[in-house]
Each structure stands twice: as structure tokens, then as C-alpha cells.
């Protein structure tokens, strides 16, 4: 069990990290970065798997199934579109990839 106060520290530090990562980003990357962060919260699929994995009644299994369905869609879709966008960014200097 993660204690409430420890959770609070985790949340606080994660928030600082998120803020720091974004604070110096150039406008040209706003769209890909939004897409990339959208992919990262696709980690919800892991929670959905656990929720479904310990579900017992029919209703729980149904909702858990929907959760995995949605979460996996978030992760995979988010990855594909972000990767497609970033793949296109090239410099005019050759070999500078």
C-alpha cells in the first residue's frame, strides 16, 4: 500500500517533471508533443488489464473489457500518429538525424 503522503510526494514530483519537460518546447513541436503526451497516458491500459484481470461478476468483466478496449486504443493510436508525425521532421543538413 502506497501511503497517502507518499502518493502526494509522487504526484508533486511528477507534476514538476511534466512542467519542466514542456517549459522549453518550441512551437513547432506543440502538436507532436500533445500527441506524444496523449500516447503516454495510454499507460491506463495497464490499469485496465488489472481491473479486468480481477473482475468477477459479469458486469465487472463487461466494464473491465470496455476499459481495456479503450485503453489499448489510446496507447496504440497515440503511438502510431505521433510516430508518423515525428518521422517527417527532417533537417536540411544531411546525416543530421
Residues 5-34 within binding reach of another protein (CB under 8 A):
7, 10-11, 14-19, 21-34
H/E stretch holding 6 reads helix 4-23
In angstroms, give the least distance from the CB of 72 to another protein: 4
Cα 21 to Cα 15, 25, 29, 66, 68, distances in angstroms: 10, 8, 13, 32, 29
Grid coordinates of 32: 507532436
- Draw the binding track, 30-69, toward another protein (x: CB under 8 A; -: no contact): xxxxxxxxxxxxxxxxxxxxxxxxxxxx-xxx-xxxxxxx
- Kindly state whether residue 83 participates in binding another protein, applying the rule CB under 8 A: yes
In angstroms, give the least distance from the CB of 73 to another protein: 4
Amino acid at each position: 500500500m502506497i501511503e497517502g503522503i507518499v502518493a502526494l510526494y509522487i504526484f508533486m514530483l511528477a507534476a514538476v517533471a511534466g512542467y519542466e519537460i514542456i517549459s522549453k518546447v518550441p512551437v513547432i513541436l506543440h502538436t507532436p508533443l500533445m500527441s506524444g503526451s496523449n500516447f503516454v497516458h495510454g499507460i491506463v491500459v495497464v490499469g485496465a488489464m488489472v481491473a479486468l484481470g480481477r473482475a468477477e461478476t459479469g458486469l465487472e468483466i463487461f466494464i473491465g473489457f470496455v476499459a481495456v478496449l479503450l485503453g489499448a486504443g489510446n496507447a496504440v493510436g497515440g503511438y502510431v500518429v505521433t510516430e508518423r508525425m515525428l518521422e517527417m521532421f527532417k533537417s536540411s543538413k544531411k546525416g543530421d538525424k
